Structure 1
Amino acid sequence: MARNNTITLYDLQLESGCTISPYVWRTKYALKHKGFDIDIVPGGFTGILERTGGRSERVPVIVDDGEWVLDSWVIAEYLDEKYPDRPMLFEGPTQKNLMKFLDNWLWSTAVGPWFRCYILDYHDLSLPQDRDYVRWSREQWFLGGQRLEDVQAGREDRLPLVPPTLEPFRRILAETKWLGGDQPNFADYSALAVFLWTASVARTPPLTEDDPLRDWLDRGFDLFDGLGRHPGMNPLFGLKLREGDPEPFVRQTGPAGAGGQALNKGPQTTKMPPRVAEKAD
């Protein structure tokens, strides 16, 4: 049982003190969802093995009254299993599978492109003692030897391409307050973590001012006394579009059904456009 209702969390921080890891972000939210106070152990990309006493080279890591738990997903499952009397993060194995699908979709749709758009910012905002490691590891492990500067260059052409791909996510949130229904759950925290990570490094906004995701994001950042409102965060909204850029989102005129089509409420709502007469030769 957590001593004094407090669980220790090993963080991953930038020079500003802001958390950069989406996995740490969702663990922070999971702990608060369960009603715990968090004892933060600060630190950056280097020295994690030393900080954790040789137990892990990656974070998040929590310590619950002497019990060490690694990996954000395992931590969430642990919290539900050990504290079932507190609000649940998951509601059964089916929901876990759907959440894993959402995770994978968001990472391929948003995180991958944004990672390349903000990779030099990612480096520049890191703790000074971490920057050599960040440059070497990202260039060698993730970028195939390309320089950070070369990968980030031209992002003004690529950033407008990402918002339209988030349309399925907007359609879900147009129909429900939270991914978890009336209340947020680990699905919300996992998705919010993607945008929290982005806000930690995005020195150029990735979303337009009028993006419908703003409502859900603002409410999510405000949860738990403004957990996502660290002063080191950058604005998510303010992307300026240029002539020829794609529309950032579909402007909904009513509730959507399966596949984004209008809900079928009878023949008047599902009329096909009139057939155009073919021209005679």
Structure 2
Amino acid sequence: MTILLYDLVGSDERRPFSPHCWKTAFALAHKDLSFETVPTRFTEIAGIQEGAAKSVPVIRDGDRVVRDSFAIALYLEEAYPDRPTLFAGEGGKAMARFVERWSQLTLHPFIGEAALMDIHGMLGPADQTYFRESREARFGKALEEVPAGREAKLEGFRTSLAPLRTLFWHQPFIGGDGPLFSDYIVAGALQWARVASPFPFLAPDDPVAEWFARCLDLHDGLGRSVPAAA
């Protein structure tokens, strides 16, 4: 039975943009599992599987409904042990938890702020209302004010990528010779930026950009199936 992935979209169903949903899509492809996406807008999340979740991603695999990208990856690893591994053992799981915290504390804040108005522009009217109300409450200011000064903060963001940049001097992926779920965690964050905003988060000659290009090429170019924002 084909797995269903509830995937966050805006007004254009062909442009899923959630970093967490992209993590899951990469993980499903890594496991060589057939899946279909269910385009889901912010205001439709509450209706997923009779209220099974408050956020996406969510997958339905037969009778099983699993939410949260990390929990989904753990489920896929356990349910399909004969497929390519996402973690390569308990050490890989521990590494992935560290990478997830690093990504959410280092990458997500700048990307989320810098791309905020671009994301708003991707949404339909109902979702724009929800997005404005929820984000203005979160940031404590008008939506338009949040990305202000992103150009001045860009150098600091790129500097924060130094742990990745120096890692890729030694190996092609975070997982070593090939990708693991840790790679998909970071690739999901950068795919969020790539799909949502034309802002140049990465310098073209950055080893991180070269690694990200390798990730976009994985699984028959799954990441490139959605063009970059123009």
Specify the TM-score bucket, using the shorter chain as the normaliser: over 0.9
TM (normalized to structure 2)?
0.93
The corresponding residue for 2:203 is: 208
In the alignment, structure 1 residue 35 sits paired with structure 2 residue 32: yes
> In the alignment, what sits opposite 1:62?
59
**For 2:173 and 2:3, how far apart are their aligned partners in 1?**
26
Give the whole-Å Cα distance in 2 for the aligned partners of 1:90 and 1:54.
30
Q: 2:149 aligns with which of 149, 154, 171?
A: 154
Which of residues 128, 131, 144 in structure 2 aligns to 1:134? 131
Aligned to 1:120: 117
Question: Relative contact order: is structure 1 or structure 2 higher (C-alpha 8 Å, sep ≥ 6)?
Answer: 2
**Does 1:15 find its partner at 2:11?**
yes
The CA deviation string for residues 26-77 of structure 1, in whole angstroms up to 9 with x for no partner, is: 1001111111111111121111121322211211111111221111111111
Task: Name the CA distance, whole Å, in 2 between partners of 1:155 and 1:73.
Answer: 29
Q: In the alignment, is the contact (CA less than 8 A) between 2:10 and 2:122 conserved in 1?
A: yes
Change (3 A) 1:88 1:231: closer
RMSD: 1.5
- Asked if the contact 2:53/2:67 (under 8 Å) is kept, the reply is yes
Distance in 2 (alpha carbons) for counterparts of 1:209 and 1:29: 23
Aligned to 1:245: none
Q: Which moved more, 1:14-23 or 1:190-199?
A: 14-23
Distance 2:123 2:169 in 1: 36
Alpha-carbon shift at residue 232 of structure 1 (Å): 4.3
Q: Report the structure number with the largest CA radius of gyration.
A: 1
The aligned amino acid for 1:90 is: F
Letter in 2 for 1:208: A
Q: Distance in 2 between matches of 1:55 and 1:7?
A: 16
Query: Over residues 188-242 of structure 1, what are the superposed CA-to-partner deviations in whole Å (9 max), with x where a residue is unaligned?
Result: 111111101111222321122221222211110111111111444227xxxxxxx
Structure-to-structure mapping, 1:194-205, within 5 angstroms: 194-205=189-200
5+ long unaligned stretches in structure 1: 236-281
| 1:105 aligned residue (95, 98, 102) | 102
**Any conservation in 2 of the 1:114–1:159 contact (CA below 8 Å)?**
no
> Unaligned stretches of 5+ in structure 2?
none
Find the counterpart in structure 1 of residue 165 from structure 2.
170
Q: Give the number of the structure whose residues are more often helix, by fraction.
A: 2
Structure 2 CA distance, aligned partners of 1:133 and 1:169?
Answer: 35
Equivalent residues, number: 229
CA contact (8 A) 2:103 2:185 kept: no
Aligned to 1:234: 229
Contact 1:80-1:88 at 8 Å conserved across structures: yes
Does structure 1 conserve the Cα–Cα contact (< 8 Å) formed by 2:6 and 2:37? yes
* TM superposition score normalised by structure 1: 0.77
Q: Is the 8 A contact 1:178 1:216 kept in 2?
A: yes
User: Do the aligned partners of 1:117 and 1:159 also contact (CA within 8 Å) in 2?
Assistant: no
| Letter of the 1:58 counterpart | S
Q: Deviations over 1:51-108 (max 9, x none)?
A: 3222112111111112211111111111111111111111222222222112222222
Partner of 1:185: 180
Q: 2:218 — aligned with what?
A: 223
- Match in the other structure for 1:264: none
In the TM superposition, residue 149 of structure 1 has moved relative to its aligned partner by: 0.7
